[in-house]
Amino acid sequence: MSVSNKPSLIQSTVLGGTAAMFAVNFTHPIELVKTRVQVTNEGIMATCSNTMKHEGMAAFWKGIPWAYCREGSYTAIRLGAYAPVRDAIGAGSPDAPAHMKFLAGAITGAVGSVAGNPFDVLKTLSQTNKSESVPLMTLVGRMYKDQGVGGFYRGVQVNIMRAITLNATKMGVYDISKGYVVESTGWQRNSPKTAFCSSFLAGFFMTVTVAPFDRIRTALMNQPTNAKVYDGMVDCFVKTVKNDGPLSLWRSFVPIWARFAPMATLQLLTIEFLYASFGFKSI
């Protein structure tokens, strides 16, 4: 099969989901630490130490079933659908305008965030729970009883904004960086070395742009199932800045970057590998 063959939207989305579900096995513990740092304001080392001491090693994978569901919906769309959507809006060539590549990432990020929001909420509640793990269906039933269907979409506004910013940055920077890496090194565009360097750059810029949205999203999603602490995204933003200061929006920058860099690298290397395995043209 020729490597110039392009995957369909469905094919690419399935491959994106597969890549994301593989990568999350390695990045989930980092995200758990990041989420707890944001909620408790403890340091990274203290969070790791307390989690290990009081809950054991397995606690670092709390919420992993919901993470699989999230990656199979949200990330499958924002990662896998990027190339077909980019090509559909005429931004498939390496010299296409940068803003069009960012637009493709924003579109797939927004759609994916709506699909994955319920799993994001349940994953966040599972990760911040420091007592015994709550059975999956018990958590779902408790949420539905206390807040109805709307409870599964708490924080959806900021999640959409976060996903638009994240995916526009991630896929846009990755796509554009590949061109610069190829030009400066002479490597092939589909080379793993090109993908690694480009995805690492994407991970850094993702952290810079996404950290404030991530902070607000975590606060909204971590509200108790039977209580409403914030009256939406703007209220949460105002209270966070008022109580903790503007720089608190970048709290957990290091663990976020520690997650984003390997996450972006693993996801993008894996989907490029899957594309090549099925004879599809690289991103």
What would the pLDDT profile of 116-128 be if each residue is shown by its tens digit?
Answer: 999 988 888 888 8
Report which residue type is found at 153.
Y
Please report which confidence band the pLDDT of residue 4 belongs to, taking 50, 70 and 90 as the band edges: low
Report the pLDDT averaged over residues 14-21: 96
pLDDT at 89: 96
Task: List own/partner pairs for 88-95 with CB under 8 A and 24 or more apart.
Answer: 94/178, 94/179, 94/189, 95/179
pLDDT at position 2 over 50: no
What would the pLDDT profile of 206-262 be if each residue is shown by its tens digit?
Answer: 989 988 988 888 888 888 877 788 888 899 999 999 999 998 888 878 878 877 888
Question: How many CA atoms are closer than 13 Å to the CA of 164, on its beta-carbon side?
Answer: 9
Q: What is the pTM of this model?
A: 0.77
Separation between Cα atoms, residue 264 and residue 23, nearest integer Å: 9
Residues in the chain: 283
Task: Kindly compute the dihedral angle of the four CA atoms of residues 213, 216, 125, 157, in this order, to the nearest 10 degrees.
Answer: -70
What would the pLDDT profile of 122-147 be if each residue is shown by its tens digit?
Answer: 888 888 877 766 777 888 888 888 88
Q: Give which of 179, 182, 172, 249 is closest to 205, Cα–Cα.
A: 172
